[in-house]
Amino acid sequence: MIRSTPTLLTNKLILGVDPGTTIMGYALIEVTGAKVKVLTYDTINLKRVTNHAVKLKRIYDGTIELINQYLPDEMAIEAQFYSNNVQSMLKLGRAQGVAIAAALSRDIPYVEYAPKRIKQSITGNGNASKEQVAHMLNQTLKLPDLPKLFDATDALAVAMCHHYQKGVNTQAGTKSWKSFLTDNPDRIK
């Protein structure tokens, strides 16, 4: 009789982020094997903040607060999408960069996912609407209440996309000089 080795179920906490300078969505999920538990999902509302630098600081501080409270193992973030409005793209890129910097300051690896890839992984359709994504997440995760803002469900979709992509480039964006030097001792002079 051949005995199989029991598979150890490891817990992984994933922070999903939908960056924005007006509203930033965030979600935290706990993954144990194939089981997913939603810990929280909500938004950081920056509508009343008029100074862009203050918005960036609040995004950074809010992300750090989430990291300190939940201690995620990884962060998944929605990548920028092309827009005709260059100023909007620059502001969104800054918001994304600040959230990434917060994760890197705590040695949290991150992965970026294109909006179409996120929608595809949740609904099977890369052109799905925010309503369709929220509906599918509700069906899949049996959410008690849907939030008023889709930014929260978008962040949950980012975290779930990362979970579904397990094993696919989970170290993207995690390279620091320290890890580079550790991985490449022959390149030190």
Annotated active-site residue in 74, 112, 151, 154: 151
* Residue 154 known to be catalytic: no
* Rounded CA separation 184/176 (Å): 12
pTM of the model as a whole = 0.82
Q: What is the pLDDT of residue 155?
A: 96
Q: What is the pLDDT of residue 104?
A: 97
183 is catalytic: no
Q: Is 151 annotated as a binding residue?
A: yes
* Domain boundaries defined on the chain: 11-187
Would the annotation count 186 as a binding residue? no
Question: Is 131 within any annotated ligand binding site?
Answer: no
Catalytic residue list contains 78: yes
pLDDT of 49-61, one tens digit each?
A: 999 999 999 999 9
Query: Superfamily for 11-187?
Result: Ribonuclease H-like superfamily/Ribonuclease H (3.30.420.10)
CA dist., res. 31 & res. 165, Å (int) = 13
| Catalytically annotated residue among 18, 74, 112, 154 | 18
* Confidence at residue 157, expressed as pLDDT on a 0 to 100 scale: 97
What does the pLDDT read at residue 186?
64
pLDDT in tens, 95-135: 999 999 999 999 999 999 999 999 999 999 999 999 999 99
